[in-house]
């Protein structure tokens, strides 16, 4: 599957390399309810390296392609929404997000 990364996925400082690695080698995946009826959303959780904190990625599965539009450090709200509570090592969750990329949103 081809991986297309939208600029919005890079807004929280997660790199394209990290996104691709986590999609290719996820630790957890869960379906996500979509607002659009034609969307097929998946949240993927993983870490770029064994001692790194978890990252959450959300992508839309299109024919032959994953379209990534969201990536940031894993949040407790995502853990609760995807029922990953018992599957996540709490020591690998950071409370700090990476700095926002780009200018202020208008």
- Do strands 2-5 and 65-73 pair parallel, antiparallel, or not at all (unpaired)? parallel
pTM, two decimal places? 0.82
Residue whose token pair is 């097929």: 40
| pLDDT tens-digit map of 1-60 | 999 999 999 999 999 999 999 999 999 999 988 888 889 999 999 999 888 889 999 999
Domain ranges of the chain: 2-85
Cα angle 2-98-4, degrees, rounded to a multiple of 5: 10
Distances from the Cα of 96 to the Cα of 48, 53, 99, 100, angstroms: 16, 10, 9, 12
């Amino acid at each position: 599957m081809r991986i297309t990364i939208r600029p919005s996925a890079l807004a929280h400082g997660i790199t394209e390399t990290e996104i691709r690695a986590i999609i290719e080698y996820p630790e957890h995946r869960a379906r996500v309810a979509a607002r659009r009826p034609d969307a097929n959303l998946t949240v993927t959780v993983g870490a770029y390296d064994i001692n790194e904190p978890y990252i959450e990625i959300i992508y839309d599965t299109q024919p032959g392609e994953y379209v990534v539009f969201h990536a940031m450090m894993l949040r407790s709200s995502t853990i609760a929404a995807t029922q990953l509570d018992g599957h996540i090592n709490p020591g690998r969750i950071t409370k700090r997000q990476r700095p926002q990329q780009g200018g202020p949103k208008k």
